[in-house]
Structure 1
Amino acid sequence: MTGVTLNKAIKKYGETQVIHGIDLEIEDGEFCVFVGPSGCGKSTLLRMIAGLEETTDGAINIGQRDVTHMDPAKRGVAMVFQTYALYPHMTVAENMGFGLRMNGVPKPEINEKVSKASSILKLDQYLNRKPKALSGGQRQRVAIGRAIVRGPEVFLFDEPLSNLDAELRVEMRVEISRLHQEIGATMIYVTHDQVEAMTMADKIVVLRDGRIEQVGAPLDLYRDPDNKFVAGFIGSPAMNFLECDIVDGKLAHPAFATPQDCPITLPTGLTSVTVGARPEHIEMDQSADQLTIELTEALGGVSYCYLTGPNDTRLIIEERGDNRSSEGQTVGLSIPTERLYLFDPETGSRLR
């Protein structure tokens, strides 16, 4: 069993602390994605697991081994970087087997492992090509193949799809997910793209400022966020937020034609609250005129309407079906009470 456990892991650069006591357990065979905005510490945390960054305090275990201060080569991990880092003068087969050759592995064993990895990644027909003759997606598959032949206990991916165009990113997402299903190894994947996180992960770890905001399955985070940050970060387009006053136990905002019923019992003394609603849960009331449709994006099966209104209100609403709204219309909002999310306006914590 080869899971990864972090116990109060801390990273400091001099007096500056960037990772603040991370506690995390990644199960054996799990596909775990670290996600968050730039500068949140996700790549630093991955490099700490790899041994490329020294852990200032706390402990990191891979399986039953404490690897906190162990040499990277002895940790049983293989890392795939954003850049392919392939040797241009070597063939695909030579690139994939280079690490084994440097470690003195016999040539027949190298050939066997390269052949197996190339079969998994559908690279058989490219083994004698050099990197310049490959597409970006094929080069990234070679980099992944180089990791596979090492037979690591844990695979680490540091934003491996960032250099690919949109179509190739989708293709490689499928490839990496299929690879995980086929070999069943523990994989930890870093990305700033929450769509990648949602589509690939068994478990998502949402990070901000070197701290974990929430851990859970993709749909659990989407449907049941713990705070405003997670609610706004997970989901595309992002959740809409309105700063509402509380009037006679109801939620009041200029975008509402009438005050909205509150889905929970609010704490005593609270006079305002942040209300969240996902684009697909909001309907437009054509009989009202609180908001103006400023822009529409028709994407085929779905359209997104961008609305503006009083108090600098900006909303995105999803529409489907044949009858869709057009730019310049004035409308109101209709949101089922059970679809509303409420957050403390000061702390951002979820009110339940």
Structure 2
Amino acid sequence: MTGVVLKNVVKKFGDVEVVHGVSLAIEDGEFCVFVGPSGCGKSTLMRMVAGLEVTTSGSIHIGSLDVTKLDPAERGVAMVFQTYALYPHMTVEENMGFGLRMNGVPKDVIRKKVAEASRILKLDAYMDRKPKALSGGQRQRVAIGRTIVRGPDVFLFDEPLSNLDAELRVEMRVEIARLHKEIGATMIYVTHDQVEAMTLADKIVVLRDGNIEQVGKPLELYEDPDNRFVAGFIGSPSMNFLGARVQDNEVFVTSLAASLSPSVALPARGTEIEVGIRPEHLSIDPDGNQFRIDFIECLGGMSYLHLTSDNGERVVVAEIGICQFQEQAAVGLAFDLGDVRLFERKSGKRLR
């Protein structure tokens, strides 16, 4: 078994603690994505698993082995970085087999391992090329191939698609997903892009300020967030939030000038809360006038309407197809109460 277990892991740089007692279990063969905004600790956490950062306290296990104090080379991991770090004077084949040659692996074994990695990554036609003759996506595949030939127990990806353009990012997401299905290894992937997280992960770990906010399957986090941060971070466009307050057993939504009767336990009367609704769960009510359409993104198959309420709150509505409304039109919003999520304004905690 080659799962990864972190127990109360802490990382300090001097007196500054940046990872605060993180505990996490990643199952054997699982694709786990660390996601969160810049500075949340996701890359630091991965580097601790790799052994590139010293763990201040707590423990890290890979399989049955406690690797907390082991050197990177002894951990059975291989890492793919944001930069390709290929040797420009070497061919694709030479780049992929270089690490094995340095470790004295026999040439016939190297050829076999490189050939298998090339087949998996569809690089057979490029083996005699040098990096300058490759596209960005091909170079990243070579970098991934270099890790495959090592046969690690755990693959670590540190924002590997950040340097690629939009089209190549989509292509490489598919390649990495296919790679995971084919080799079935445990993979940990760091990204700030929640679209990558949603499309690749078996399990998502949402991080903020060195703490885990929520762990779960992609759709679990999307449909059932524990707090406002997760609700706003997971999903593109992000969830809309409307200011509201509790009145007896109802919720009065300021911008809608309307009350809702949700089936959740509400806090005390007068408590400030927020009503969360995803863009695809909203539709335009042409008979209303609480919002103004500021801007329409018409993408052909989907349209995004950007609205502003009379009190300045901004809302995005997603509509399938081409939008039939005009900018600057006064409209209302319609939605099902079952699609509403409520959050305490002060703490951000979900009301259930």
TM-score normalised by the chain length of structure 2: 0.98
Contact 2:298 2:322 in 1 (8 A): no
Specify the alignment match of 1:33 in structure 2. Answer: 33
Partner Cα separation in structure 1 for residue 30 and residue 246 of structure 2: 44
Matches within 5 A, 1:74-85: 74-85=74-85
Q: More deviation in 114-123 or 333-342?
A: 333-342
Partner Cα separation in structure 1 for residue 54 and residue 323 of structure 2: 57
Partner Cα separation in structure 1 for residue 234 and residue 324 of structure 2: 26
Evaluate the alpha carbon distance shift between residue 153 and residue 22 of structure 1 in structure 2; reply closer, same or farther with a 3 A threshold: same
Superimposed CA distance per residue, residues 239-287 of structure 1 (whole angstroms, 9 cap, x where no aligned partner): 0001102234322234215323333231234532111000011122111
> Match of 1:251, SS?
strand
Amino acid at match of 1:133: A
Partner Cα separation in structure 2 for residue 309 and residue 80 of structure 1: 45
What number of residue pairs does the alignment pair up? 352
Matches within 5 A, 1:241-260: 241-260=241-260
Give the fraction of aligned pairs with identical amino acids, expressed as a percent. Answer: 66
> Match of 1:47, SS?
helix
Amino acid at match of 1:120: I
Instruction: Supply the RMSD in Å over aligned alpha carbons.
Output: 1.1
> Match of 2:59, SS?
strand
Q: CA deviation at 1:326?
A: 1.9
Partner Cα separation in structure 2 for residue 141 and residue 155 of structure 1: 14
Q: More deviation in 322-331 or 230-239?
A: 322-331
Q: CA deviation at 1:52?
A: 0.3
TM-score normalised by the chain length of structure 1: 0.98
Amino acid at match of 1:85: A
Partner Cα separation in structure 1 for residue 181 and residue 88 of structure 2: 31
Partner Cα separation in structure 2 for residue 261 and residue 237 of structure 1: 26
Q: CA deviation at 1:321?
A: 4.2
Superimposed CA distance per residue, residues 317-349 of structure 1 (whole angstroms, 9 cap, x where no aligned partner): 011245632211101121211111001111101
Amino acid at match of 1:23: S
Q: More deviation in 161-170 or 325-334?
A: 325-334
Specify the alignment match of 1:127 in structure 2. Answer: 127
Specify the alignment match of 1:184 in structure 2. Answer: 184
Q: More deviation in 330-339 or 100-109?
A: 330-339
Contact 1:41 1:209 in 2 (8 A): yes
Specify the alignment match of 2:272 in structure 1. Answer: 272
Superimposed CA distance per residue, residues 43-77 of structure 1 (whole angstroms, 9 cap, x where no aligned partner): 00000000000000000000000000101001000
Contact 2:80 2:157 in 1 (8 A): yes
Contact 1:257 1:333 in 2 (8 A): no
Q: CA deviation at 1:312?
A: 1.8
Superimposed CA distance per residue, residues 126-161 of structure 1 (whole angstroms, 9 cap, x where no aligned partner): 111000000000000000000000000000000000
Superimposed CA distance per residue, residues 85-143 of structure 1 (whole angstroms, 9 cap, x where no aligned partner): 00000000000000000000011100110000001000011111000000000000000
> Match of 2:21, SS?
strand
Structure 1 runs, 4 residues or longer, greater than 4 Å off:
none
Partner Cα separation in structure 2 for residue 323 and residue 65 of structure 1: 57
Partner Cα separation in structure 2 for residue 256 and residue 181 of structure 1: 47
Partner Cα separation in structure 2 for residue 189 and residue 254 of structure 1: 41
- The alignment status of 1:69 with 2:69, answered yes or no, reads yes
Partner Cα separation in structure 1 for residue 116 and residue 19 of structure 2: 38
Uncovered stretches (5+) of structure 1, i.e. residues with no partner: none
Contact 2:205 2:216 in 1 (8 A): yes
Matches within 5 A, 1:207-218: 207-218=207-218
> Match of 2:221, SS?
helix
Evaluate the alpha carbon distance shift between residue 32 and residue 304 of structure 1 in structure 2; reply closer, same or farther with a 3 A threshold: same
Amino acid at match of 2:274: T
Partner Cα separation in structure 2 for residue 248 and residue 283 of structure 1: 28
Specify the alignment match of 2:293 in structure 1. Answer: 293
- The alignment status of 1:171 with 2:174, answered yes or no, reads no
> Match of 1:333, SS?
strand
Superimposed CA distance per residue, residues 174-209 of structure 1 (whole angstroms, 9 cap, x where no aligned partner): 000000000000000000000000000000000000
> Match of 1:99, SS?
helix
Superimposed CA distance per residue, residues 156-177 of structure 1 (whole angstroms, 9 cap, x where no aligned partner): 0000000000000000000000
